[in-house]
A and B are shown apart, each in its own frame.
Chain A
């Protein structure tokens, strides 16, 4: 299986499995996205409503 296919599948699995180390990397990349938004974009984000934490962890049943 090629690396790209493997990455798609692993990141998809991550949505269910929530590996904490990998989630930290994902959240960090997303945090940078937000920092790069300009003021007008940030106003739109604020107007869209409540900001939910990104690092919600999976709980054990």
Chain B
């Protein structure tokens, strides 16, 4: 991996890596340290990055996820992993792959525009429904109904 590749990875993914870690690790300093660990691991990886196996984002995502799991194991060696991380660490519960993303994209494409926008604002932007109601200019009750309808339509497609 060239210096330019490393610079690209760091610039492109640092914010995403830190964002992922911050949603799981409450301590800001630990989160910053873990973020730096992710890039150290990536840059010092003996096998390095293999473009034939995965896109760089997928590779960085895997390193990030494993770094956070290792952190919790070090912090609480005798305790179970937090529920979300335990799910993420379980191969049978793994949903993060390109095929499932494609399925989600196809399922969203079939939704009416207003439902699609609510799903993006809720699950990508992580906005509460009250805020989505303000942005969309409709009542909270209407957003809640649309949200439930969208979830019901997506449920079948994602199972």
Contact = CB atoms under 8 A, between A and B. Distances in A.
Interface of A: 1, 3-19, 21-22, 25-26, 28-30, 32-33, 36, 58-61
Interface band, chain B: 35 or more
Interface of B: 1, 5, 8-9, 12-13, 16, 19-20, 23, 49, 51, 55-58, 60-61, 64, 84, 87-88, 93, 95-96, 98, 100-102, 104-106, 108-109, 116-117, 119-124, 126, 135-137, 151, 154-155, 158-159
A36 B135 contact: yes
A12 B88 CA distance: 12
Contact of B108 (A15, A25, A32): A25
- State the main secondary structure of chain A at its contact with B: helix
Contact of A14 (B9, B93, B101): B101
